[in-house]
Amino acid sequence: MPLRTFNLTIDRLAYSPAGVGRVDGKVIFVPGTVPGDKVEVVLDQKRKSFALGHIVTLHKPSRQRRQPPCPYVSRCGGCPWQQVAYPVQLSAKEMLVHEHLRRIAKIPAPPVLPIIPAPDEWHYRHRIRLRTGKKGRLGFSPVHSHEVVEIESCVIAERDIEARLRDARAWLAAVQTPVSHVELVLSDSARPASKSVLIGEAVGVFQEDDDATCINFLHTYPQISGIIVSGQGWRRVWGDPTISFDLDSDGTALRVSRGSFTQVNLKGNRTLIATLLRLGDFCEEQRVIELYCGAGNLSLPIARRVQTLVGVEQDRDAIADARANAARLGQMNVRFLRASARTGIQRLLRNQAQAEVVVLDPPRAGALDVIDMLPRLGARKVVYVSCDPTTLARDLRRLEAHGYRLQVAQPIDLFPQTYHVETIAVSVLTC
């Protein structure tokens, strides 16, 4: 029996890989589409209020559609908006932030500023994480798939990262320890003598012969400055795994030496920091508490402008890097606590700590577990840096229940060709 198909026009992009159209009032999500596309679609999954489908025929392409430059785009799944002209991507992300704040946060007229574009649309990632496959294959895996799409290049990775793919394959072929993922991380290309670090995620035990293998590899491939391999309960390090990148135009550098999280877009990260400092309006009389502070990416620039800053982070390696960076830069007004955000607040409150400003930079899951505790810190202002508009909107709604009103939301594009968007939201206590 032939499958039933539907004709529809795509009217917008969703916070997902898909465009959105409607049939008889029902929302249909169709991956690989562009606003303005007229398509014939077959449905794959049906739900009560929406359905998922795929294109059978592209009857009339949108004027905003373009040819993706990546040969793997149809299989990789990593850059699902490549076919969308960049100005349309930006407009869609700005609207998504606006709509999430209106619908989830229940803010009738969200104060959303025009989105800030990425400095570079292509070749912006200084780190990529690849999956290994049989016979030394190395590539990306589509969502909900175990397939490894082997790649020779990546249009959103910095060009020096692309050049290191051959080195990563050579290392993977040489080691005996089973490795499931390989991450390539590049120091800031704007800094002299930029080097790369190779990070392996192992399954099982470390094979001792690989100690000599990794030492020899670093001698043979001097462009790789360090190797980190981790498994359950163990980690080995060879060479110098330090990655350095500038936080501002003055050349203040952050050093990460333990494989800690860093923003993937280093030029965009400098835009993020500059925007945060401007919107946060930090001043030297303020005490600041930053939750989910990582290795100090935001902490150290903020600390230069305020009286004191306490950063809270549960990752042991990130805290070690943060402390080392503060000491190297001579920032004596900074203190870092190793704890979860919730435990960190509890410890600070036991010591009667207070702050004029709280900064949040949580993972995609958001900060719901600490929102209700924030008023006890006495902060008049909460500056929230979010990588997920859904959890941001949820948390801002909870903040508003405590009297914090959203003053401004600034979307920033750090992830071109994807639906992800960074947002800085500033909420001020009004009661």
Q: Which CATH number goes with the domain that contains 47?
A: 2.40.50.140
Q: How far apart are CA 255 and CA 46, in angstroms?
A: 49
Q: What is the pLDDT of residue 259?
A: 80
DSSP 113: P
Assess if residue 355 is contained within a domain.
yes
Residue 422 confidence (pLDDT): 98
149 and 284 belong to one structural domain: no
CA 42 to CA 392: how far, in whole Å? 34
> What CATH number is associated with residue 188?
2.40.50.1070
Query: Cα–Cα distance between 79 and 74 in angstroms, integer?
Result: 9
φ, ψ (nearest 5 deg) of residue 300? -70, -45
Q: Are 425 and 279 in the same domain? A: yes
> Is the separation of the CB atoms in 136 and 109 below 8 Å?
no
| Residue 228 shares a structural domain with residue 146 | yes
Is residue 226 domain-shared with residue 282, that is, in the same domain?
Answer: no
Q: List the catalytic residue out of 79, 214, 293, 387.
A: 387
Residue 378 domain-assigned (yes or no): yes
Residue 1's pLDDT is what? 37
| The pLDDT of residue 46 | 84
| Alpha-helical runs (H) found in 295-409 | 299-303, 316-328, 341-350, 368-371, 389-401
Question: According to the model, what pLDDT value does residue 395 have?
Answer: 98
Task: Give the pLDDT of residue 16.
Answer: 93
Same domain, 152 and 230: yes
Burial class of residue 324, CB neighbours in 10 A (0-12, 13-18, 19+):
middle
pTM listed for this prediction: 0.94
Alpha-carbon gap, residue 130 to 148, rounded angstroms:
9
pLDDT at position 123: 95
Same domain, 286 and 381: yes
Is 287 a member of any domain?
yes
Q: How many angstroms separate the Cα of 329 from the Cα of each of 5, 246, 253, 258, 324?
A: 62, 13, 9, 18, 9
Does 387 qualify as catalytic in the annotation? Answer: yes
Inside any domain, residue 325: yes
H helices, E strands: number in the chain: 11, 22
Q: Which residues of 29-40 are buried (b: 16+ CB within 10 A; e: fewer)?
A: bbbbbbbbbbbe
Helix (H) or strand (E) holding 234: strand 234-239
Domain with residue 288: its CATH number is 3.40.50.150
End position of a domain, from candidates 182, 212, 244:
244
Across the chain, which has 431 residues, the per-10-residue mean pLDDT values are 78 95 90 96 86 93 95 88 97 98 97 98 94 87 81 92 90 95 86 80 94 97 95 94 88 85 93 97 96 96 96 96 95 96 97 96 96 96 98 98 97 97 97 75
The number of C-alpha atoms within 13 Å of 396 and in the hemisphere containing its C-beta is: 33
Range of the domain at 15: 5-65
Number of domains in the chain: 3
Task: Give the pairing type, strands 196-202 and 224-231.
Answer: parallel
In a domain, 361, yes or no: yes
